[in-house]
Chain A
């Protein structure tokens, strides 16, 4: 078998795992949370598996030794500093092994270094012989005794944010029919590994089929299948390829083809005529539903939600806050936005760094906050937003802010600029100086954020994605860091609506709509020349802008914009969909009210309205009258 074509993939994946592994080891040296040992184990395990499948024995053996050490740690043995040091040296050796593969297609050149590092690990207490470890929890352990002839395999939707809890709900349903059903892996393992696959051991029984159907219709269940229990001789390493790395381009093509299928179906139905549609209506609806599910599934594969990263950041804030003796919490907005998997991975480290900075340098301690009249808990806020061209990830803190003057002075002191040059820089440029390597206005080195403020690393990461970093700050009040990433593949949630029930669909970004009022239960009234919508005690101004008449069976969409809320009247409201917004071509791109076009699941293209522009325009026109 020709393994050469996998070499690039092997190298890039291995390097990613190695880099994360190193980062976690460095955290351990500084005393970070014990839960990182589970991640360490997983990274070492992946490195081992990949090296083994490529036939790189020196690499596989060293990774295995690391895996054994991390296994000790995650079983409760405290990571001792000499062990962590030895692990770091082993990770250096792993890097040398990867370089050897890159240069010579084999890892043998670096084998002596690897052997020495392996020896170093054993000396500090890592267990002896490789091959003595049982299978890791990431793959379900082979059942020791057969307990049931059938396996009900359930996969939880990738978008579910609490998959273990979801599995428990499924388990309750299964146990309604089969109270003794065994679940594999168990709930504790699922929680630890954030697993989404589970199997129930069931007896041969006619009720299994109906149960499977019932489970399939549960929320957040992606797939259900019934399998026969095998003899149980599945080798632990059989699932080497557990995750696939697929070029984004290929998934885009898949998505487009699926959309074409949907579109084709709609066209076919349109051409059938009344009697044809009646005769085949059921089949058409069923088929459309199936295609819709296929479309959703491809979308789901392609994109991941931001939420898990937010969770991770919140954990970091808690741990770090308690270590620094500062109280703070992280709020999130827009975490349901979905973005490309690779993009998310690359935002992780920059965001972690910004959060650490905010806690370390931004948020004041209890005395400082009390003196400044701020609430005891520091507030960090991460917001994910998408506009027509870019993904905007903003981290705001209400800490002490950045002092432009201090930066100016420090820059002059360090010889980066002359006093005269520095006086020419405005605030924004001064903030940018912070992103120069090893620039710090703190005298002492803190162990938390490392040397300097580290913004150079953040900036480099963002720029490598084709974006840029914006810094705003108000001394005493806080700072705002915005990562602007131009992205062609972030999905936006939009609300689909229409003015003419049978006619063209339009969309608004769901983030702009805060409420939907059915006009059948909310009255409209006039105050002078302004139309208003009645919401309990308040009156909301209605935008005079619309593309069709709206009657009592219409809806008011409450647009929450900077400034005040406005209501847009529309005829029908359909659903919220996740779509890719594409820029319109000329001359439509000159109309600011239209943000772009979106391909809906039905295959049609809907114009995406920018509520902010519509509201602003209407205000301007109203004032002009």
Chain B
């Protein structure tokens, strides 16, 4: 039974990249995509995914705030932050806010899957 994932990133090609990695893995299923924190919180409520991949820097509502909102609604939510290089402080803030793990761009399929596998099996 593949795990259901919500992908959140304001860049379309980033979402496509993550989607491709997940689809090729045969154990994750993309059930939705959001391009900002606001959309993400709405979709999370509707879709109740098993996992969320969350870009940190986004317009309207950023990833850290969105993570907090999601966790308020569902304390067992699993959020994995997607960060670019040089954003260590933001990643640390995200984890302190309740994100379970993180991956750093540029992605490689093996790294992404390793982190997601660890999070769903925790």
* Contact B85–A335 (Cβ < 8 Å): yes
Q: Mark A174-215, 1 if CB is under 8 A from B, else 0.
A: 000000000000010001000000000000000000000000
Contacts A164-B88, A335-B85 given; indicate if A516 touches B95 (C-beta within 8 A).
no
Contact of A218 among B88, B92, B118 (CB under 8 A): B118
Comparing B36-44, B47-55, B60-68, B102-110, the segment that makes contact with chain A is B102-110
Contacts A168-B95, A311-B85 given; indicate if A576 touches B108 (C-beta within 8 A).
yes
A122 and B110 alpha carbons, distance in the complex (Å): 54
Q: Is A336 located at the chain interface by the 8 A CB criterion? A: yes
A515 and B21 alpha carbons, distance in the complex (Å): 9
Residues of A within 8 A of B91 (CB): 162, 165
* Contact B109–A576 (Cβ < 8 Å): yes
Contacts A219-B118, A576-B108 given; indicate if A169 touches B102 (C-beta within 8 A).
yes
Shortest Cβ gap from B102 to chain A (Å): 6
Q: Is A307 located at the chain interface by the 8 A CB criterion? A: yes
Contacts A168-B92, A336-B106 given; indicate if A219 touches B85 (C-beta within 8 A).
no
* Contact B24–A516 (Cβ < 8 Å): yes
Contacts A162-B83, A219-B114, A516-B20 given; indicate if A191 touches B88 (C-beta within 8 A).
yes
Q: Please tell me the size bucket of the interface on B.
A: 20 to 34
A97 and B74 alpha carbons, distance in the complex (Å): 64
Q: Mark B14-31, 1 if CB is under 8 A from A, else 0.
A: 000000100110000000
* Most B Cβ at <10 Å: residue of A164, A168, A518: A168
Q: Is A616 located at the chain interface by the 8 A CB criterion? A: no
A218 and B119 alpha carbons, distance in the complex (Å): 9
Q: Is B96 located at the chain interface by the 8 A CB criterion? A: yes
* Contact A518–B92 (Cβ < 8 Å): no
* Contact A219–B95 (Cβ < 8 Å): no
Shortest Cβ gap from B57 to chain A (Å): 13
Contact of B88 among A165, A307, A332, A575 (CB under 8 A): A165
Contact of B20 among A162, A173, A515 (CB under 8 A): A515
* Contact B110–A575 (Cβ < 8 Å): yes
* Contact B85–A169 (Cβ < 8 Å): no
Contacts A169-B101, A311-B85, A576-B109 given; indicate if A219 touches B24 (C-beta within 8 A).
no
Residues of B within 8 A of A315 (CB): 86
Shortest Cβ gap from B104 to chain A (Å): 5
Q: Is B89 located at the chain interface by the 8 A CB criterion? A: yes
Q: Is A310 located at the chain interface by the 8 A CB criterion? A: yes
Report A486-519 residues with CB < 8 Å from chain B CB.
493, 515-516, 518
Contact of B101 among A219, A314, A516 (CB under 8 A): A219
Which residue numbers of A lie inside 8 Å of B, CB to CB? 161-162, 164-165, 168-169, 172-173, 187, 191, 217-219, 307, 310-311, 314-315, 332, 335-336, 493, 515-516, 518, 521, 575-576
**Known A162-B91, A191-B92, A576-B108; further 6 A-B contacts with Cβ < 8 A:** A162-B83, A172-B100, A493-B108, A516-B24, A575-B110, A576-B109
Q: List 13 A-B contacts (CB under 8 A).
A: A162-B88, A164-B92, A165-B88, A165-B92, A165-B95, A169-B101, A187-B92, A219-B101, A219-B115, A219-B118, A307-B85, A515-B20, A516-B20
